[in-house]
Structure 1
C-alpha cells in the first residue's frame, strides 16, 4: 500500500505534459495540441473561479472559435478524465456578449495549482466563463480536466428514460424542471440508469431523493450539501440562489418528484 501511495505522489509531482483535445462536430472533427491552442490564446481574468474558489488568470481561447459551423440549437458534451460528462447547450457557448465561454489551456511550462492537496490541477483543458452571472451559468457548466468535446443528439433523444410523461405540454413546469436537471445534475448523475456520467449516484434507482428527504431537506442539501452531510472527499458543489434561483430549484425538485413515479430499470 505504501509503495502505491508513493508512486501516486510521484506521478502528481511530475511536470505537466502537453496534451491534446479532440472536438468532434457532426460536420467536422479536429484534434488540437496544447502548443497550437496556446499560440492563439489570450490572457483571461476569472473572478471567483468555480473550481479554485478564488480569482484566477488563464491563457484561454474563446470556445466559439473552436466550434465553426455550430448552430445555437446544437448540443454538446464535454467529457472529463474522471468520468464527469457535462451536457452543454450550444447557444451559451457561442455567445460573444455577456457570459462568455473560454477554453483555458494549461501551459506545461507554467502549470496550474492543484485543485486540492493530493489532487491534480484543473488541466489540461478547462471551460471557464467571464461574467457568468449574466447567463446564469451553473457550476456544472465549468467542466475541468476535459479530454474531449463532441456534438451529440439532445439528452431526450439519447436517453428516453429521463423524459417526463410525454402527455405533458412542452412548457409544463415538469418539463422546465427536466431542462434544469440536464443543466445542473446530469453531468454527475444518472437517472433510471440513463446518462453518461460516472461520478454521482443514480437519482431514481433504487430510490429518488424526494422519497427519503422530508420537508425542505432536499432543497437545503442542493443549496449546500456539506451542511447536511460533511465529508472531505465530497464532490457535489453548492448551488447558490444566484446560480439556481428559488423558483428554478422548485421546478427541479418537481421534476424529481415526477420521475419517482416513472422508475425504469436500465
Structure 2
C-alpha cells in the first residue's frame, strides 16, 4: 500500500507526540505521527519487515517489536510540508518525509539503527537467516554463546549499513568480512574506539557512520558483536 503525506496527516489516529532524546536530532522533538502498527495491515507478528531509506539505509525490524503495545511503541512521524522539520546536522539533509520514531524505546531495548528516517518504503521479507545464510555463525554454537548474542546485536546495529560475506541489502558501509574483517587489521582497543566514535580514529568530515555510545550499545553488547566478527573472520566464502 502507498501512503501519501496529506492522507496520513488527515487520519483520525494521527496525533502530536513528544519524543525525548530523539535519535536523529539529539533533543526532544514533537511530531504529527500515526501508530505504526495501525499501518501494517496484513502483517503478522512473525513477519519480518525492512525499512528502506532514500540513501540506501535498510533497517531490519521484526513485526513483533513493532506490534508491541506494551512498553515501547513505534510511530510513523510525518513531515508537514507547511511546517518542515529542522535540518539534520552534519549536512545530512532532512529526516522527512517519513521517520520511524519510538516512545519509551528503552522498554524493548530499541536500538538507534531501528529509527530509520528519510523513509522511502517498507518491505515484507523473509528472515535474515533465510535470505542471507552466509552471515550465520556456526549453528553448533550454544544459543547463549557470545558469538550468537553478537550475531543478534550485529543484525540490530551493523547490518543496517554493512554487508557481510557480500550478503545484505544495504551498501552504505563496506563489507565487514571481505576482503578482510576489521578484527584482522585493527587492535581490539582501536576497533572499540572506532565503534564508539569513528572520528576518534580517523577524522573525515564526510564520514556517514555515527558512533555508538554506551546507551546505544552497552559494553557487553560491544564485546558480543566483536566476538561474532572474530568468529566470522574464519567463515569466509571458500574457507
The TM-score with structure 2 as length reference comes to: 0.93
Q: Does 1:114 align with 2:70?
A: no
Matches within 5 A, 1:223-234: 223-234=196-207
Match of 1:253 in 2: 226
CA contact (8 A) 1:133 1:242 kept: no
Q: CA RMSD in A?
A: 1.5
Residue range with higher mean Cα deviation, 160-169 or 249-258: 160-169
1:117 and 1:216 map into 2 onto residues whose CA distance is 27
Match of 2:53 in 1: 80
Moved over 6 A (4+): none
Match of 2:10 in 1: 39
Match of 2:73 in 1: 100
What runs of 5+ residues in structure 1 fail to find an aligned partner? Answer: 1-29
Aligned pairs, number:
236
Cα distance per residue 1:37-90 (max 9 Å; x no partner):
111221011112111122211111111111134333221100111011111122
**Structure 2 residue matching 1:229: 3-state secondary structure:** coil
Cα distance per residue 1:144-191 (max 9 Å; x no partner):
111100111111100111111122233433122111101000000001
Q: Does 1:144 align with 2:117?
A: yes
Match of 2:185 in 1: 212
What runs of 5+ residues in structure 2 fail to find an aligned partner? Answer: none
User: Alpha-carbon deviation of 1:226?
Assistant: 2.0
User: Alpha-carbon deviation of 1:242?
Assistant: 2.0
Task: Pick the aligned partner of 1:242 from 200, 211, 215.
Answer: 215
CA contact (8 A) 1:114 1:120 kept: yes
2:225 and 2:123 map into 1 onto residues whose CA distance is 26
Q: Does 1:221 align with 2:204?
A: no
**Structure 2 residue matching 1:216: 3-state secondary structure:** helix
CA contact (8 A) 1:105 1:123 kept: yes
1:191 and 1:177 map into 2 onto residues whose CA distance is 14
Matches within 5 A, 1:156-167: 156-167=129-140
1:227 and 1:140 map into 2 onto residues whose CA distance is 21
CA contact (8 A) 1:133 1:243 kept: no
